[in-house]
Amino acid sequence: MKKFDPRTILLSTCFLIIALVMANSYWKVVVIILFIATHIFLFKLNLKDLVKILKYSAPLFISVIFVNYFFFSKSTEYIFLSLFRILGIIFLSVSILSSIDIIDIGYAIEKILLPLEKIKIPVGVISTVFAISLKFIPLLKEESSRILLAQRARGIDFELMNLKEKLKNIPTLFLPVIISGIHHSINLA
């Protein structure tokens, strides 16, 4: 497997996200989606991860359709563009996080922003903060699944609840995750 320079992956991902946000017609979005597919193929993203992400992103897509239809525009083109922008950004985010180590992302950011040190911007600190914040994502995911299992053992099963009950019991899941994240950040500091 050919290993790409993290700066190449980071810059190409940023370029595709900017192009996707600026696209304002069907054909531009389709062309960018083809580039995103090539990007995903080149950087060897696991297709099982993409399917899992699509499954968990379904409520986000439904809410985007709802918000765009009722609050912004009833145009199908506008809703289509919004959905594919979000889908592309999600795929690009997953591709960058699964193809580069988090430490390498920090180094890539530091190398890209290195010219800013000439004007006294603390590039090392910025890249370290960014890398550490990315380190917390898997930690919080692991912590939330552990708390979800603990809640299930206590009789609170989110999969069996209807939407109203889920909304009512969200604090029992997220407050311990937030508190745990604060404890981990204090320990890290």
What's the pLDDT at 44? 72
**Greatest pairwise CA separation for the chain in angstroms:** 58
Nearest Cα to 99, choosing from 34, 35, 49, 33? 49
What's the pLDDT at 144? 79
Rounded Cα distance between 60 and 87, Å, is: 10
Rounded Cα distance between 137 and 172, Å, is: 20
What's the pLDDT at 2? 55
Which pair of structure tokens corresponds to residue 129?
Answer: 């903060």
What's the pLDDT at 1? 41
What's the pLDDT at 105? 82
Rounded Cα distance between 26 and 24, Å, is: 7
Would you write out the chain's pLDDT as a tens digit for each of its 189 residues?
A: 457 788 888 888 889 889 988 888 878 888 888 888 888 788 777 677 777 777 777 777 788 777 777 777 777 777 778 888 888 888 888 777 777 777 888 888 888 888 888 998 888 888 888 877 777 777 777 887 888 788 778 777 777 777 777 777 777 777 887 888 788 777 766
CA angle 82, 84, 88 (to 5 degrees): 120
90 close to 57: Cβ distance less than 8 angstroms:
yes
Q: Give the orientation angle of helix 6-22 with respect to helix 76-99, to 10 degrees.
A: 170
98 close to 53: Cβ distance less than 8 angstroms:
no
23 close to 29: Cβ distance less than 8 angstroms:
yes
Which pair of structure tokens corresponds to residue 40?
Answer: 């995903």
Q: Give the orientation angle of helix 26-42 with respect to helix 76-99, to 10 degrees.
A: 10
What's the pLDDT at 189? 64
109 close to 124: Cβ distance less than 8 angstroms:
no
Rounded Cα distance between 88 and 45, Å, is: 14
The radius of gyration of the chain's CA atoms, rounded to the nearest angstrom, is 20
